[in-house]
Amino acid sequence: MKIARIINEFSNYGIYPRHLKIYQNFANREATFIEQIVMPLIRSHDLEMRKIAIQKIADLEELTLRLRHLLLKNSLKTFLDENLPHRDKESTQE
């Protein structure tokens, strides 16, 4: 339901589900990357190792979100700097 609401919000910008498949592909690739990292722990017969795997997944998910956010922000800043060179620099700085 949350995903449907977000997809609906994109439609306000003329962006529709067919345009958003790229996000599903990115999410699948990120998930596969994290799965590969924790797979040895998941396969363990030790219950404690499996609990550690669950925590690592949560930690890596958070790191991924933070990294993706900053990479996107930097890319868009570069785009604006190249296309609007005289804009107010302070309005986009953190």
**pLDDT the model gives residue 87:** 73
pLDDT at 93 over 90: no
Distances (CA, A) of 62 to 12, 17, 22, 52, 71: 28, 25, 20, 15, 14
**pLDDT the model gives residue 15:** 97
CA–CA distance, 94 with 23 (Å, rounded to integer): 25
Q: 0.85 cut: is pTM over it?
A: no
CA–CA distance, 48 with 62 (Å, rounded to integer): 21
Instruction: Give 19-73 pLDDT, tens digit per residue.
Output: 999 999 999 999 999 999 999 999 999 999 999 999 999 999 999 999 999 999 9
CA–CA distance, 61 with 67 (Å, rounded to integer): 10
Phi, psi at residue 92, to the nearest 5°?
Answer: -115, 5
pLDDT at 85 over 90: no
**pLDDT the model gives residue 86:** 82
Answer for the pair 57, 34: CB distance below 8 angstroms, yes or no.
yes
